[in-house]
Structures are given as structure tokens and as C-alpha cells.
Structure 1
Amino acid sequence: MWSVVPAPGAAQVRDAFGVAVGELRPHPGGFEADAFTDGRWFVKLWRQQPDSDAALALTAELAARGIPVPAAQQTLDGSYTSMCLGRRYALFPFADGRQATWDDADAIAQAMCAVHEIADLLLPRTDMDEWCIATLRDRRDHPWIADRRDEVMANVDRLEAVIERARAIDVTHVVCHRDLFPQNVLVDHDGHVVALLDWGLTMLAPREHDVFAGLCGPDPARFLRAYSAQGLDLTHLEYARLARSLRDIAVRIDNEVDLDGINTWGFDRLRRVDADLALARPFCDR
């Protein structure tokens, strides 16, 4: 389990970033980090591995290209994170908005499309290596999944086969966030996107590795229409959709956290994969 730690103090932030902050109060965070804000600045305090400096520097590049992304602040020594009680944290301007829901699917899809139109960014290229495969094989007898071991292993086998097929398909690579779900989007009271968050997984990858997120919502066809999807590759969609559900199981087992999420984010969505792919088929060429 992850320990609870307080926010960095104002003096810590000033000494690290050269920025004066007010009282940092807890703010809704996410699975990987705790969060704090004073209403002007936002602190992301990672529980484990922080985003790389390259990923944090990317936020400024995206903001400069007109994408609504809060740009991470550099520290006085030129890096992007500092330490607080053994954990790394980063500082961003606070973006005022509510967390999106699937009711905002059109806005999310259109923002995703705008990201995919960006050219000339130097980013790592996906290799589709999936750490969750080894983790789930090694921990197949974990008590949280032991009663569904056969189901997990069948899907791990399927993922390995899909990766092999996907690697043989030549498709265009674009800037992919790779986790552009509603929890990483803030919208204003009119439903317009004000911030796209958490760029730590960003790579050059097939657009399907982002678009799959829409398949996880309640109305995949609506999302794909809003994205103006056509000519998608079904194999890459299958890879991305399947891998996400298996990762969501593996990370919870590996860290011994969020037993409920094993079902909500893992098994429940895993059992929808084929139905979701069937809904996406009219938007695919192959």
C-alpha cells in the first residue's frame, strides 16, 4: 500500500522552483500520484516512478503548439522534479475545470484528433513490449486472480499473438498520449476542454493506441464519429484495448492496491473487448 505524505512546504517549493506558492491543499489526484493546489499552482506528487524530464518538457512544447496542456515548471537546477519525503513532485500552473466524464466524449475525441495532427515532435517510438505479460504469468496464483487464472492466461496468450500480428502491420505513427481517458481531461462549464493532463506515457504510435480509449466508454460509435475515424486498423485497436485491461489488472496486483479496480478496470472491461471491437469494425479498413 502507498503511504500518505503531506504536500511540500512553501519554502521547499520556493527553494526548488523559485516560485512562491500559498497553502497547498489536497486536490483529487489519480492512481499514480497525490495532488495539491493553492488555486494558482498544482503539485503532482508521484507514489512511485515520476514522469521523465523529457515527458515533462514535452508539456511546454505541446502548449506552444496550441494544445491545452499545463506546462511543467523547471526547477532552478534545470530539471523538472524535486523531492519531498522520499517522493518526486512536479509543479504546474493550476487549470481550473472539472474532470471530464464520458458525457464529454465528443470534446475528448476532438482534442485527441488535434494532438494526432501535430508533426515534427521527437519522441520515442512504441515497441509494444508489454510488462504486464511477464507480471501476470509470474503472479497467476495471486489470491486476487487465482480463481480466474485460466481467463487471465488465455488473454495473456491472446495479447502476445496480437502483438506479433500488429508488429507486422505498417501503419502511420502519430503523437499518442496513450491514456487519454476522461480522468485525464478537464473541461469548463460549457464542456470545452481546458486541460489535457498526464503526458508521461506519450510516444509516437499508431493512432489506434489512443483511439482505443473511446471503446472503453458507454458509446464507442459516438466517440469514433466525433474523432472522424475512418480507415482504422482493427488489429492495433485490439492490441491497445486488450493490453490496457491486462495492465490494469497487473498494476494492482503488483502494488497490492485497489482490489475493486481488478474488476472495474480489469475483468469487466476485459470481457467487453470483442463486443467493443465489433462496434469499431465499421470504422476500420482491416
Structure 2
Amino acid sequence: MWSEVRPPTSAQVGADFGVEVGELRAHPGGFEADAFSDGRWFVKLWRGQPDSDAGLALTAELASRGIPVPTAQRALDGSYTAGHLGRRYAVFPYVDGRQATAADAEAIARAMRAVHDLTDLVLPRAELHEWCLEALRDRQDHPWLAGRRDEVLANVDRLEAVMERARAIDVPHVVCHHDLFPHNVLIDRDGRIAALLDWGTARLAPREHDLFVALCEPNTVRFLQSYGAEQLDPTHLEYARLARSLRDLAVRLRDEVDLEGINTWGLTGLRRVDADLATARPFCAT
């Protein structure tokens, strides 16, 4: 478990960002960050590498296009993050809403399509490079993988081969969030999307690199239909689906947190990759 940390003080936030905040209380965060809020502002304090300034600046651009995205506050020094206890933090307007669930899949699919339809945003292009390959090979004898080493390494080899095939396939690139699961979506009291969160890994990438989310939903077909999916590239879809489970496994081994997640998010996901891809096949190019 992560240890408790103190939030930045009101004076510190004012000096860094020029905004007045009240008492910051702990707020549900996520795997990569601690979070705090006073009910008007939301502070995200990263445990590791923070989102890039380009990713945080994207929030304002998306909001200006009508996408429900909280805009990162710019710091007084012109950047989007400031230091606190050896870590970096950012400030956003607080958005009230409940975390989305699988029941909101159709709304999430439509929101994803709206983002993908924005064709004139400038972002870095995603590269087919996965840190998890080396990380898992280096940790193949970790005790958390006892009895499952061969299974994990077979999937590592598979991902490497899929990446090689995907590099040779030219497909359109769109603005991809890369993690638009329900935990990154807030729903308002009327059942509409209030906010799409966490744009730090956004890149120009094949749409399949976002649409793998559909394969992880209880109703993959409903999600893909709501998105309007057709002629998807099966190789890029396989890459994105396989890479997600291996990353989820690798980050838990690397940080030695969430042993249960090794099974829930890693191995269980890997064992259903082929079934997930078969469900999506009618939406793929032949």
C-alpha cells in the first residue's frame, strides 16, 4: 500500500498556481497518484513520472472543442506542474460526479468517437515500444510469478511478434487517450458524461489503441456498435489488448504492490485475449 502523504498547503498552491484553495482533503486517486480536493479544486500528486506539459495542455484544447475534460491550471512559471515533497502536482477544477461503470459503456464509446473525430490536433505520434517486455523478462523469477513463469514469457514473446507485424501496417492515427476505462470517466446526476480524466498518455495513434477498451467490457459488441466501429485492424487491436494486460502485470511486479492485481488485471486478462479478439472479429477488416 502507498503511504499517506500531506497535500500541498493553500499558500503553496497559491504561490505555484495563483489560485485560492480551501482545506485540501484526501480524495480517491488512482494507482499512479494521490489526490486531494476542497470541493472547488482538485489536486493530483503523482507518485512517479507526472503527465507531460503537452498532455496537460491538451486538456484545454479538448475542452475548447466541446469535449468534457477538466482543464489543467497553468502554473505561474508557465508550466503545468509544481513540486511538493519531491513529487510533482497539478491543479484542475473539481468536477462532481460518480465514477462510471460498465452500464455507461455506450456513452463512453460515443465520447471516444467524438475525440477520434477531431482531426486537426497536434500531438506526438505513439511509438510501438513496450517497457513491459524487458521488465517482465528481468523479473521472470520473481516469487509472485511462481508456477506461472512460462505462461508470462510466452505472452511476452507473443507481444513482441505482434508489435513487429503491427509496425508494417499503416493505419490512420487519431487522438487516443489510451486508458478510457470507466475509472477515468465521471457521470453526472442526469446520467451524462461529466468528465473524461487523465490525458497524460494521449498520443496520435491507431484508433484500435483506444478501442481495445471495448474488449475488456462485459458487452464488447454493444460498445463497438455505439462507437460505430468497422474495418478495424486486427493486428493493432491484438497489440493493444495484449499490451494492456502485460503492462498491468509488469507495473505491479516492478513496484511490488497489489499482489492480487497480478491475477485480476494481469493473468486473467491474458487468458481471455483470444476470446476477446474473436468477439471483435466481425468489426475487423478481413
Category of TM-score, reference length = shorter chain:
over 0.9
In the alignment, the residues of structure 1 paired with residue 146 and residue 166 of structure 2 have an alpha-carbon distance, to the nearest angstrom, of 29
Q: Aligned partner of 1:39: which letter?
A: G
Return 5+ residue gaps in structure 1 as ranges: none
In the alignment, the residues of structure 1 paired with residue 42 and residue 127 of structure 2 have an alpha-carbon distance, to the nearest angstrom, of 33
Shifted more, 202-211 versus 118-127: the winner is: 118-127
Matched, 1:56 2:56: yes
Aligned residue number for residue 168 of structure 1: 168
In the alignment, the residues of structure 2 paired with residue 33 and residue 217 of structure 1 have an alpha-carbon distance, to the nearest angstrom, of 24
Aligned residue number for residue 211 of structure 2: 211
**Paired residue secondary structure (1:205):** strand
Shifted more, 117-126 versus 148-157: the winner is: 117-126
Q: Residues 186-235 of structure 1, C-alpha deviation per residue, up to 9 Å, x if partnerless?
A: 01123211100000111110000000011111111111111111111111
| Contact 1:56–1:199, Cα closer than 8 Å, also in 2 | yes
Q: How many Å apart are 1:153 and its aligned residue?
A: 0.4
In the alignment, the residues of structure 1 paired with residue 69 and residue 22 of structure 2 have an alpha-carbon distance, to the nearest angstrom, of 22
How do 1:67-216 residues align onto structure 2 when only pairs under 5 Å count?
A: 67-216=67-216
**Paired residue secondary structure (1:166):** helix
Q: Aligned partner of 2:16: which letter?
A: A
In the alignment, the residues of structure 2 paired with residue 114 and residue 210 of structure 1 have an alpha-carbon distance, to the nearest angstrom, of 12
Identity within the alignment, %: 72
| Contact 1:34–1:46, Cα closer than 8 Å, also in 2 | yes
In the alignment, the residues of structure 1 paired with residue 3 and residue 37 of structure 2 have an alpha-carbon distance, to the nearest angstrom, of 19
| Contact 1:174–1:205, Cα closer than 8 Å, also in 2 | yes
Q: Aligned partner of 2:237: which letter?
A: L
| Contact 1:33–1:44, Cα closer than 8 Å, also in 2 | yes
In the alignment, the residues of structure 2 paired with residue 184 and residue 128 of structure 1 have an alpha-carbon distance, to the nearest angstrom, of 23
Aligned residue number for residue 276 of structure 1: 276
**Paired residue secondary structure (1:281):** helix
RMSD between superposed Cα atoms in Å: 0.9
Aligned residue number for residue 47 of structure 2: 47
| Contact 1:2–1:47, Cα closer than 8 Å, also in 2 | no
Q: Aligned partner of 1:4: which letter?
A: E
Matched, 1:285 2:285: yes
In the alignment, the residues of structure 2 paired with residue 54 and residue 90 of structure 1 have an alpha-carbon distance, to the nearest angstrom, of 13
**Length-normalised TM-score, structure 1:** 0.98
Q: Residues 38-57 of structure 1, C-alpha deviation per residue, up to 9 Å, x if partnerless?
A: 11100001011100111111
| Contact 1:53–1:79, Cα closer than 8 Å, also in 2 | yes
Return 5+ residue gaps in structure 2 as ranges: none
Q: How many Å apart are 1:179 and its aligned residue?
A: 0.5
In the alignment, the residues of structure 2 paired with residue 110 and residue 265 of structure 1 have an alpha-carbon distance, to the nearest angstrom, of 25
**Length-normalised TM-score, structure 2:** 0.98
Aligned residue number for residue 254 of structure 1: 254
Q: Aligned partner of 1:255: which letter?
A: D
**Paired residue secondary structure (2:129):** coil
